[in-house]
Amino acid sequence: MKLVAVDLDGTLLNKEGRVSEENAWALKEFDRQGGTVALATGRSIQSAKEVFETLNLSGYTLASNGAYVAKIENGEIKEVLKSYTILPDTVKTALSLAMKTEVTVVASRATQDDRISFAQDKNEVNSPYYAQFNLKESKADDLWEELEKEAISYFKLAFTDKDTSKLVKLRAQLERKQINSSYSDKYWLEVMAEGVNKGAALNFLTSHLSIELSDVLAFGDQENDLEMLTLSGNSIAMENAAPAVKKIADQLTKSNEESGVAFILKEYLA
């Protein structure tokens, strides 16, 4: 295998949002032996950079579910290879539906994440997934005005609420408006630009690097990993993965709490 594509939350990271020593060693050894490491995540580019910096590795990131593809060196963006922003009309439609459903929205730009809460319930701000965002509390009216002027654009919209039935309802409403969405976690429903997903981004990256998809080893645990796992030469589902992910994966590994990435990756190390 020439490239390993690894999801972060629920896959490489443990429940505290950290990389275990075993996983870090395995990725660094894969890199040392000439392999390429790509972090494929729903997280923002800023968060992906931080993980690379923690690993003391260079590589590539498919951030915001593939909406932002970049080369990372020494914890910094060396080159942006591709980026896809959501059409303003799609953003406005999704925000309107989120307001009616009363869920919280985190809208990701390159440099910050705008948080708009349409419900009194404040969500799990201390969770590892929430911690990745560079949050700025924002008002819908202000963002709407900026969108009208096309002064801002977003790579990803993330919707969250402790009441998962709200997310199910919101997803159905988005589908009726022909807006695709995917779950990155039980409590997180996400929207990217049309046609954007980790699989499409992986296809672009491998073409850019002249690597065959058959030479890709991919790890994931949630619905937003499905396209990437389907395209990869060898797909690995975590023990804690969603049933749909386990169904399409070539292999099953240990959970993210048991360094499941390292458990499989060691098989490919010389």
C-alpha to C-alpha distance for 41 and 62, rounded to whole angstroms: 6
**For the chain, what is the mean pLDDT?**
92
- Model confidence at 176, pLDDT cuts 50, 70, 90, reads very high
User: What CATH fold (topology level) applies to the domain 3-83+196-268?
Assistant: Rossmann fold (3.40.50)
Query: Residue 127: how many CB atoms within 10 A of its CB?
Result: 16
What ranges do the domains of the chain cover? 3-83+196-268, 88-191
Element (DSSP H or E) covering residue 77? strand 76-83
Q: In 160-216, which ranges are continuous DSSP H helix? A: 164-176, 198-209
Gap between the Cα atoms of 216 and 210, Å rounded? 12
pTM for the predicted model, two decimal places: 0.88
pLDDT tens digit string along 49-108?
Answer: 999 999 999 999 999 999 999 999 988 999 999 999 999 999 999 999 999 999 999 999
For the chain, what percent of residues have pLDDT higher than 90?
Answer: 77
Q: For the domain 88-191, what is the CATH code?
A: 3.30.1240.10
For residue 58, give both structure tokens. 């260079």
Per residue in 225-265, pLDDT (tens digit) is 999 999 999 999 999 999 999 999 999 999 999 999 999 99
pLDDT, residue 117, reads 85
Q: Under 8 Å CB-to-CB from 54, ≥6 apart: which residues? A: 19, 24
User: Within 10 A of 77 (CB to CB), how many other CB atoms are there?
Assistant: 17
Give me the phi and psi of 161, to 5 degrees please.
-165, 145
pLDDT grade for 138, boundaries at 50, 70 and 90: confident
Smallest CA-to-CA distance from 31 within 84, 66, 72 is with 72
**Residue 79 Cα distances to 58, 60, 70, 112, 134, angstroms:** 12, 9, 6, 19, 21
CA geometry: angle 8, 116, 187, nearest 5 deg = 40
